[in-house]
Structure 1
Amino acid sequence: MLEAYRDDIRAAKERDPAVPSTLQVVFAYPGVHAIWGHRASRWLWKRGAKVAARTLGEITRILTGVDIHPGATLGRRLFIDHATGVVIGETAEVGDDVMIYHGVTLGGTGGDTGKRHPTIGDRVVIGAGAKVLGPIKVGDDSRIGANAVVVKEVPSSAVVVGVPGQAISRHGGDRGDASLPDLVGISLQSLLTRVAKLEGQTNGESRSGRVIRPPEAGVWHGEDFSI
């Protein structure tokens, strides 16, 4: 357990762009404190001391704002950034080197018994406010966008956004590039490209004199977008 605690400190220092000191992580990172509290309550849970485990879990929740059931299984080097509002259910399983942002729920979908919470693979990133629900598997190296609601299986190395969550692309699993695609922007640009093409075919540009063209190098053209 002591080695796991050291891994948690290293994970926080490596993944937080603020580059905190070891003392900052130890004394001022509630996400790390929540993981440590869970590791202790999990130890009690596995040995049959379930009342003590739940009590310790509740104290940890009050102190950190993170609700992790003692029955949940957490992997090595998990980092919960900002922490507040994270909920991880009893039968949830989280792999190694996972990063979870605030407001994330790994929950169930109803009154089912048995395995009812998700299994998260290794090196997954789950954005702020995302909900992963039910006994589903999220594949290794996947990324779940902020506020996505995921209720079905996610393949490895997928990028998932939206409600309900949809896998919109695959990536190479490079954690150094944590950016997610702009789904609305991509759709809008595709639509405007199509409109511009149709207007060109019908000579609409010469008739109306008002055309909004797709952005070029991030710059919009057309009087509706003038400032």
Structure 2
Amino acid sequence: MFTAAKFIQQHDPAAPGIWEILLTYSGFHAVGFYRIAHYFWQHKHRLLAMLISHWGKKATGVEIHPAAVIGKNLFIDHGLGVVIGETAVIGNQVTILQNVTLGSRRPIPGLRHPHIADNVFIGANAQILGAVKIGKYAKIGAGSVVLNNVPAHRTIVGNPGRLVD
């Protein structure tokens, strides 16, 4: 828990200190709710997991399905409106800004949500839809709509998303 708060403090110039992060950052709290819900989901207590997830959404404005897989040190900054779907996979040290959707494009069985590698930055209002893969250290610009894979160390912007570097 303190490791995640320290990661946030290192990556958020507005973070005043560890205690403020622990007590007041809704994105930090949302990940905490998710971790508890995910535990129960993995242990086949699905209704309890969904209830905890629902409470977390009500408390933080961030909706994370308890079946999603999230690595260490996810930083959801200004988390209101963030949605992370059921089959989404998020690596380590990922930053997500407000109103981001990691969603599906169609109601199909199996993997239908994005896979986000380590150290990715996702800007505000970005929509990453479908079973796309976002490579390590990629950057997704604010307002981008991503429907295709993004290579590692690349930046994508716009609607539809296009590589810019």
Which TM-score tier does this pair reach, normalised by the shorter chain?
over 0.9
Q: Do structure 1's residue 65 and structure 2's residue 61 form an aligned pair?
A: yes
Matched letter for residue 82 of structure 1? H
In 2, the alpha carbon distance for the partners of 1:29 and 1:23 equals: 10
Residue 40 of structure 2, aligned match among 40, 44, 52: 44
Matched letter for residue 123 of structure 2? G
Partner residue in 2 for 1:126 = 122
Instruction: After TM superposition, give the deviation of residue 97 of structure 1 in Å.
Output: 0.6
Matched letter for residue 159 of structure 1? T
Partner residue in 2 for 1:74 = 70
Partner residue in 1 for 2:141 = 145
Partner residue in 2 for 1:114 = 110
Contact between 2:15 and 2:21, CA under 8 Å: does it hold in 1? Answer: no
- TM-score, normalised with respect to structure 1: 0.72
| Aligned length, in residue pairs | 165
Matched letter for residue 84 of structure 2? I
Aligned-pair identity (%) = 39
Contact between 2:118 and 2:137, CA under 8 Å: does it hold in 1? Answer: yes
Higher relative contact order (CA 8 A, sep 6+): 2
Q: Which protein has the larger Cα radius of gyration, Structure 1 or Structure 2?
A: 1
Per-residue CA deviation, residues 50-105 of structure 1 (Å, 9 max, x unaligned), is: 00000000000000000000000111011000110000000000000100000000
Query: Cα RMSD (Å) of the superposition?
Result: 0.7
Instruction: After TM superposition, give the deviation of residue 7 of structure 1 in Å.
Output: 1.9
Residue 152 of structure 2, aligned match among 146, 151, 156: 156
Q: How does 1:93-104 map to 2 (within 5 A)?
A: 93-104=89-100
In 2, the alpha carbon distance for the partners of 1:126 and 1:26 equals: 22
Q: How does 1:172-183 map to 2 (within 5 A)?
A: none
From the two aligned structures, give the one with the greater helix fraction. 1
Instruction: After TM superposition, give the deviation of residue 19 of structure 1 in Å.
Output: 3.1
In 1, the alpha carbon distance for the partners of 2:96 and 2:66 equals: 18
Per-residue CA deviation, residues 23-43 of structure 1 (Å, 9 max, x unaligned), is: 101110000000010000000
- TM-score, normalised with respect to structure 2: 0.98
Note the residue ranges of structure 2 that are not aligned, 5 or more in a row.
none
Note the residue ranges of structure 1 that are not aligned, 5 or more in a row.
170-227
